Structure 1
Amino acid sequence: MTSQLRIGQGYDVHAFTAGDHVTLGGEKIPHSHGILAHSDGDVLLHAICDALLGAAGLGDIGMHFPDTDPRWKGADSRAFVRHVRDLLKVSDYVVVNVDTTVICEAPRLGKYREAMRSNIAADLGINITRVNIKATTSEKMGFIGRAEGLACQAIALIEHISG
């Protein structure tokens, strides 16, 4: 049996709009704004999807879930993660780990971090110890610092297994 490790990176950003929560890692987090997006706007899950798709050479989230397709209007991004997991499985890839950084001035994510990690681990079919979520601010600089939106960066390591 041989194995091949591959790495991918992902990035997503969304603007704030009227609303009372943001969805991150599949968790609804109370906030003074909502997210302007075609789906639920979960930047954390979108960045993970792009990192995984990139690592496997399977394109990007826009190719698989275009915002021009009404099927994805308001969609739960956890379904995107499960679909990407299934695409990887068909191609004989397994997820080794994902590491992420959410960039926002607010909301504070600390008390939601473990639930987000649990959701991601469950959807990817991996141990929670293989999912890391960090959070930082932009020190009040740029559109994030002005509380106009939020972003996320993700990196993923996958392994191709062939017998």
Structure 2
Amino acid sequence: MRIGFGYDVHKFAENRKLIIGGIEVPHSLGLLGHSDADVLVHAIMDSMLGALALGDIGKHFPDTDMAYKDIDSCQLLKRVYALIKDKGYKIGNIDSVVALEEPKIGKYIPLMQEKLAKILEVEENQISIKATTSEGLGFVGEKLGASASAVCLLEKNN
């Protein structure tokens, strides 16, 4: 078994969709990034890559490459998962946290779990997504952006 940790942060911006866990969440602001800035999927990908010491998403999908401009992060997740499978591993489970003051995303978590589980070929109960605030502290508390962290357990295929 291998364990990896991932963390990502993006600031809010106007004229962007808010995509978290592959799901569009209605909000007046979106997250700014080279891709769709899906902070949760980015943290999950980094945790998967980290478990096998394969670097980070910036190494695999650099923000200097226009091929990744505004790309759906779930497409990148599929590529990372293919790499993990090629190395002989499968997902044991993923535990993650998204931190943002607003909007509240609790009702969207089951949709996120369903989408990510399908991509990663696991049961929905193998993908844990929690939401929290930062109690008004820091950039998240000031509603300037969102952060996410994730831990991934990979298991060697038999």
Do they superpose with TM above 0.5? yes
Deviations 1:14-53 (A, max 9, x none): 0001036410011010112111100000000000000000
Q: Which structure's residues are more often strand, by fraction?
A: 1
Q: TM-score, normalised by structure 2?
A: 0.97
Partner residue of 2:24?
Answer: 28
Deviations 1:77-115 (A, max 9, x none): 001111111001110011100010000001111111100
Q: How many Å separate the matches in 2 of 1:109 and 1:42?
A: 14
Contact 1:20 1:30 in 2 (8 A): no
- Residue 10 (structure 1) aligned with residue 9 (structure 2): no
User: Equivalent of 1:134, from 126, 130, 136?
Assistant: 130
| Structure 2: runs of 5 or more not aligned | none
Q: How many Å separate the matches in 1 of 2:133 and 2:111?
A: 21
Count of residue pairs the alignment pairs up: 158
1:1-163 equivalences under 5 Å are 5-19=1-15, 21-161=17-157
| Structure 1: runs of 5 or more not aligned | none
Q: How many Å separate the matches in 2 of 1:58 and 1:123?
A: 20
| Amino acid in structure 2 at the alignment position of 1:140 | G
Q: Percent identity?
A: 46
Bigger CA radius of gyration:
1
Q: TM-score, normalised by structure 1?
A: 0.94
